[in-house]
Amino acid sequence: MRIVVLGAGFGGLELAATLSEKFGAELDLTLVDGGDAFVFGFSKLDVMFGKAETAAVRHRYDALALPGVRFVNATVQAIDPESKRVETTAGSLDADVLVVALGADLDPAATPGLVEGGHEFYTVAGAFGLRDVLDSFGGGEVIVGVTSTPFKCPPAPSETALLMHDFLRERDLLGSSRVTLVMPLPKPVPPSPAASAAILAAFAERGIRWRPGRLVASLDPSRRVAILDDGDEMPYDLFLGVPVHRAPEVVIESGLAVEGWIPVDPHTLETRFPNVYAVGDVASVGTPKAGVFAEGQAVVVADRIAARLRGDDSTSAYDGRGVCYVELGRGAVAKVDVTFTPGQAPVGDLEGPSAELVADKEQFGTSRIARWFGG
């Protein structure tokens, strides 16, 4: 059975590694990605704030050595979900089971003034480039602002505001600076009241201003003001934005997307096309767009494919659970455990912050790279 997985991010790598572990060289899985390396979302913040080197956080795909997995470094140009044929810059691929794990594309140009007058920290290039920008920043009004919904990793803008405050303190720039966070959510982590309270307490303690329920609609670079969706204006010296997210163009053109993202059965992750699955940020599953959810979805799809390979029926169903680490500044790390069940209010718990969780987060990354890349 020919399995083709589009996208070697959190979802695609987890899927390939899980099936490779189960079937080894008997597996016939082709993993396609247009990039040359995987970078964890949280590593973008590490590089941006000078806590890690670029080379250390870029996990190159040419090191991928999973039995039964063939990696193809190519751009996906067309997907036909009926025939399960994919056109890429390296030729066509025909699948018996097709998994779309192409993530969310980021479009900084969609926010007027952002490219000319601000910065974004969600793309790899944007976050890595900010390292030099921050290095030469002499202090002033800093706005961390979200420009649209949905956006990946809802706690990330709050983490960025706290890490920015740390950065200003370390550079002795707090006296001449102020950090403001503008975001559309009513709370920093809506499903977890405890996590939201911990983040809001950290903001209050540091004097970080918090503007909930608002988006940044545009920047006016000539006046250096951010214009919010209610028309309010906020002056800035440094704008750190979360850009507009969209499904990749090739997904939109394939007819798989409805209202911008790929609808799937929330339990099986199958699209309306038989044997075509979608996992992670590209899908609308009812969970936030975050790596831990992409991973949990990939595990279920892997289980369903494995059952088919063995000739069984799979009863594996996605449970909407994700556990992720949240930076609270000053080196503190907490853990949030949230579950999204269709038709019910999401629920979430907070553990920590603690020193053990700092080590846990490190282990979270290194253990995945070891499993996902094999060899």
Contacting positions for ligand FAD (CB under 6 A): 7-12, 32-35, 41-42, 44-45, 75-76, 101-103, 122, 152-153, 156, 248, 250, 280-282, 289-292, 294, 324-325
In the complex, minimum distance from the CB of residue 258 to ligand FAD, in angstroms, rounded to a whole number: 18
Give the integer Cα–Cα distance in Å for 287 and 300. Answer: 15
In the complex, minimum distance from the CB of residue 161 to ligand FAD, in angstroms, rounded to a whole number: 12
- Sheet with strand 178-182: strands edge to edge: 119-120, 238-242, 141-146, 178-182, 209-211
In the complex, minimum distance from the CB of residue 373 to ligand FAD, in angstroms, rounded to a whole number: 14
Tell me which residue has tokens 């790899």.
Answer: 124
* Sequence-distant contacts of 296-301: CB under 8 A, at least 24 apart: 296/320, 296/321, 296/322, 297/11, 297/269, 298/10, 298/11, 298/12, 298/14, 298/15, 298/18, 298/101, 299/14, 299/18, 300/267, 300/268, 300/269, 301/15, 301/99, 301/269, 301/277
In the complex, minimum distance from the CB of residue 253 to ligand FAD, in angstroms, rounded to a whole number: 10
In the complex, minimum distance from the CB of residue 171 to ligand FAD, in angstroms, rounded to a whole number: 21
C-beta of 5 vs 226, nearer to ligand FAD: 5
Give the integer Cα–Cα distance in Å for 229 and 222. Answer: 19
Give the integer Cα–Cα distance in Å for 130 and 187. Answer: 27
Q: Which of 110, 101, 126 is nearest to 15 (CA)?
A: 101
Structure tokens at 53: 């080197």
- Sheet with strand 276-278: strands edge to edge: 69-73, 29-33, 3-6, 97-100, 276-278
C-beta of 42 vs 277, nearer to ligand FAD: 42
C-beta of 12 vs 108, nearer to ligand FAD: 12
In the complex, minimum distance from the CB of residue 233 to ligand FAD, in angstroms, rounded to a whole number: 26
C-beta of 224 vs 368, nearer to ligand FAD: 368
In the complex, minimum distance from the CB of residue 101 to ligand FAD, in angstroms, rounded to a whole number: 5
In the complex, minimum distance from the CB of residue 279 to ligand FAD, in angstroms, rounded to a whole number: 7
Length of the chain: 375
Give the integer Cα–Cα distance in Å for 150 and 157. Answer: 13
Q: Which residue is nearest to ligand FAD (CB)?
A: 9
C-beta of 113 vs 296, nearer to ligand FAD: 296
C-beta of 225 vs 271, nearer to ligand FAD: 271
Amino acid (one-letter) located at 281: D
C-beta of 254 vs 275, nearer to ligand FAD: 254
Give the integer Cα–Cα distance in Å for 73 and 8. Answer: 10
Structure tokens at 196: 């939201």
C-beta of 225 vs 333, nearer to ligand FAD: 333
C-beta of 12 vs 113, nearer to ligand FAD: 12
In the complex, minimum distance from the CB of residue 232 to ligand FAD, in angstroms, rounded to a whole number: 25
In the complex, minimum distance from the CB of residue 146 to ligand FAD, in angstroms, rounded to a whole number: 12
Cβ-proximal residues to 75 (8 Å cutoff; 6+ apart), any chain? 34, 88, 89
Cβ-proximal residues to 227 (8 Å cutoff; 6+ apart), any chain? 216, 217, 218, 219, 220, 233
C-beta of 53 vs 232, nearer to ligand FAD: 53
